[in-house]
Amino acid sequence: MQQSPLPAQGPTTESFWRASPHSLDDHRSSPDVPPEVDICVIGAGFAGASTVHHILDICNSRGQPRPRIVILEARQACSGATGRNGGHIKPDPCHQPSSLAVTHGIEAAAECAAFEAQNLFAVKKFVEDEGIDCEFTLTRAVDAFMSDAVCDKVMAAADMLRRNHVSVMSDVHFAKGSDAEVLSGVKGVKGCISYSAGHLFPYKLTLQLLSRAIDAGVNLQTHTPVLNVTGQADGDGFITVTTSRGSVKARKVVYATNAYTSSLLPEFTGKIVPVRGICSHITPTKKPAPHLPSTYIIRWSDTNYDYLIPRLDGSVILGGARSMFYHDLDSWYNNVDDGQLIEAGKSHFDGYMQRVFQGWEDSGAYTSKLWTGIMGYSSDSMPYIGALPEKNQQFVVAGFSGHGMPQIFLAAKGIASIIIDNADFQSTGIPTVYQVTRARLDSKQNSIMEGWEKAQKSSIAFNKI
């Protein structure tokens, strides 16, 4: 596999969230990149902005001088996955933890599930305490299972987690058959679970984090792709970060580069793979819009699913459409093209609400916007967080596999304490399985391709019946 290219230049498909750009979207704090800083953060998405927020927070809380920080962003602020996602902050109590229980043991599963739940409430607290206007709404997420096979599998997994006293299961409610249909409002659902989740306006949250950082003296340089970073510091302790607009000498470097991490760090080739996704904004014409009580993931099979959040204006953000293009590997795998829609996925969203949800039949709901975005899928499904094994004073916070919103805020808090206090990874509260290790980088595992190959075999078998 090739290293990821840099974020694609040129026009991108416009997401709902980025339709009215913030005044800092193209911001450059100084005409040139600063020649020397203490910390260089690459990437101005939720991960980069959160890392800077927590670094400043640690320093402010101690009355300690703030380090000199530059954020280098290849395109506009928050123009990557964060500015193009589904707006769902949905801790996963069951799906991934049940796989993790098999591969890494029940403690690892419980740790990851609890960490994601903590993230939801950490973001809620931050937004409320600081008066951040990002439309954060605490809700229940419903996982709707559309076949008996999917339903039975998840119910068995949930039962196993409950029997093993995984703490987040106390927040999970189960329903089957007609009860599930009433609870979820999803037509023909076989069963469902619900649990605490949230939805928000991710671009607004990230731009406010960046705005506060700039007010605190952080230098933001948009439209400044980083082209190269030296592996080791020079004799004076500086790492050289080369951009399209000149070089920055930094004592520490943070890669918050998600899908594009391997463009700068070849050791992440095949470890964090760019994966293209498609998302939509659905507008009902009927007023008031039909009530949608929860956020959702609609699971049609192990690999095909859609996800959606209601917005308080009655519209819906709906993403997924994997059933339309998942078989066509080149259309999504190792693909950084967010300038074009995924052709095969385009029609999936038309009439979706009418087909899937009770009470939406006469809603007149139509697809008002469509866009693509690039996720950073990790080869073992776990984010990569922490110090790089052989590159002193270089740190990664990336590889969120299309699920970063309930992972990033506290992962960034942990990375901030590693950077500022030289904290031990184990003391940060970040799940152990997220840590960047040489063993993970050397592993030949590729769970993205394993899942795809399995799905292709079962669809061939299904077609032969």
Ligand X SMILES: Cc1cc2nc3c(=O)[nH]c(=O)nc-3n(C[C@H](O)[C@H](O)[C@H](O)COP(=O)(O)OP(=O)(O)OC[C@H]3O[C@@H](n4cnc5c(N)ncnc54)[C@H](O)[C@@H]3O)c2cc1C
**Which residues of this protein are in contact with ligand X, per CB under 6 A?**
6-7, 42-48, 72-75, 79-82, 84-88, 225-226, 256-260, 263-264, 277, 279, 307, 319, 373-375, 398, 400, 402-406, 408
Question: What's the min distance (Å) between Cβ of 208 and ligand X?
Answer: 15
By C-alpha distance, which of 45, 53, 39, 32 is closest to 75?
A: 45
Question: What's the min distance (Å) between Cβ of 289 and ligand X?
Answer: 20
Question: What's the min distance (Å) between Cβ of 219 and ligand X?
Answer: 14
The CA distance from 157 to 151, in Å, is 10
- Residue 286 CB contacts under 8 Å (≥ 6 apart), including other chains: 362, 363, 364
Of the two residues 257 and 294, which places its CB atom closer to ligand X in the complex? 257
Question: What's the min distance (Å) between Cβ of 277 and ligand X?
Answer: 4
Of the two residues 52 and 289, which places its CB atom closer to ligand X in the complex? 52
- Give the distance, in angstroms, between the CA of residue 251 and the centroid of all CA atoms in the same chain: 28
Q: Is 78 left (phi over 0), alpha (psi -120 to 50) or beta?
A: left
- Residue 293 CB contacts under 8 Å (≥ 6 apart), including other chains: 140, 185
User: Using H for helix, E for strand and C for coil, what is the string for 3-72?
Assistant: CCCCCCCCCCCCCCCCCCCCCCCCCECCCCCCCEEEEEEECCCHHHHHHHHHHHHHHHHHCCCCCCEEEE
Question: What's the min distance (Å) between Cβ of 86 and ligand X?
Answer: 3
Instruction: With beta carbons less than 8 A apart as the criterion, state whether 202 and 85 touch.
Output: yes
Of the two residues 284 and 319, which places its CB atom closer to ligand X in the complex? 319
Question: What's the min distance (Å) between Cβ of 13 and ligand X?
Answer: 10
Residue 140 DSSP SS3: strand
Alpha-carbon distances of 143 from 196, 307, 348, 355, rounded to whole Å: 11, 9, 19, 17
Of the two residues 160 and 296, which places its CB atom closer to ligand X in the complex? 296
- Residue 14 CB contacts under 8 Å (≥ 6 apart), including other chains: 369, 371
Query: Which DSSP string do the residues of 161-227 spell out, in sequence order?
Result: HHHTT-GGGGG-EEEEHHHHHHHH-BTT--EEEEEEEEE--HHHHHHHHHHHHHHTT-EEE-S--EE
Of the two residues 124 and 162, which places its CB atom closer to ligand X in the complex? 124
What number of CA atoms fall less than 13 Å from residue 71's CA on the CB side? 35
Question: What's the min distance (Å) between Cβ of 288 and ligand X?
Answer: 25
Of the two residues 110 and 265, which places its CB atom closer to ligand X in the complex? 265
By C-alpha distance, which of 179, 174, 178, 185 is closest to 152?
A: 174
Question: What's the min distance (Å) between Cβ of 286 and ligand X?
Answer: 25
361 burial level (CB within 10 Å; 0-12, 13-18, 19+) = middle
Of the two residues 135 and 361, which places its CB atom closer to ligand X in the complex? 135
Question: What's the min distance (Å) between Cβ of 235 and ligand X?
Answer: 26
Of the two residues 155 and 214, which places its CB atom closer to ligand X in the complex? 214
Of the two residues 160 and 193, which places its CB atom closer to ligand X in the complex? 193
Of the two residues 263 and 335, which places its CB atom closer to ligand X in the complex? 263
Question: What's the min distance (Å) between Cβ of 78 and ligand X?
Answer: 7
Segment (H or E) for 141: strand 137-145
DSSP designation for 135: -
Residue type, 258: N
> Cis peptide before 288, with omega less than 30 degrees from 0?
yes
Question: What's the min distance (Å) between Cβ of 424 and ligand X?
Answer: 23
Of the two residues 46 and 174, which places its CB atom closer to ligand X in the complex? 46
